[in-house]
Amino acid sequence: MRGCWGRFIAAGVLAAWLPGAWAQAGIYTCVDAKGRRLTSDRPILDCLDREQTELSSSGKVVRKLGPSLTGEERAIEEEKQRKILEEKARVEDEKRRDRALLSRFPDRATRLT
C-alpha cells in the first residue's frame, strides 16, 4: 500500500512538472532569403545569416538573436570585448591605487607636504 502512494505522488509531480517544462520552450521565427516566414521550436538553420526572434508561448518577444558572425566579424567583436575589459581593469586599478593613497595619507596636510 505504501509503495502505491509513492508511485501516485511521483506520477502527480511528474505530470505537474512536464507541462511547465514544455511551456518554457521558445518559438523561433524569421523571414528567410525568399521572404517566407519560418517558425520552429529551435533556432532555424536557414536563418543563421538573419535576425531571429524568440517568442514566449503567449507570443511576446523574449529576445532577438542576431545573425551568425563570420570569422572576421567574430575577431572584431572579440577585440572590442578585450578593449572593454582592459579599460575596466585600468579603471579598477586606478581606484585601488587611489584608495591605497588615501589610506596611507588620510588628511590633506600630510598629502601636501
The C-alpha cell at 59 is 507570443
Q: Is it the case that residue 1 has pLDDT exceeding 50?
A: no
Tens-place pLDDT, residues 31-78: 988 899 999 999 888 888 889 999 998 889 999 988 888 889 889 999
Q: Is it the case that residue 26 has pLDDT exceeding 50?
A: yes
Whole-angstrom distance, CA of residue 86 vs CA of residue 94: 12
Question: Where along the chain do its domains lie?
Answer: 25-68, 71-112
CB atoms within 10 A of CB 42: 9
Whole-angstrom distance, CA of residue 30 vs CA of residue 40: 9
DSSP string of 58-87, one letter each residue: TS-EEEEEPPPPPHHHHHHHHHHHHHHHHH
Whole-angstrom distance, CA of residue 79 vs CA of residue 77: 5
Which has the closest alpha carbon to 62: 52, 73, 53, 50?
53
Class of residue 30 by CB neighbours under 10 A (exposed 0-12, middle 13-18, buried 19+): buried
- Whole-structure pTM over 0.85, yes or no? no
User: How much is the pLDDT for 102?
Assistant: 87
User: How much is the pLDDT for 23?
Assistant: 45
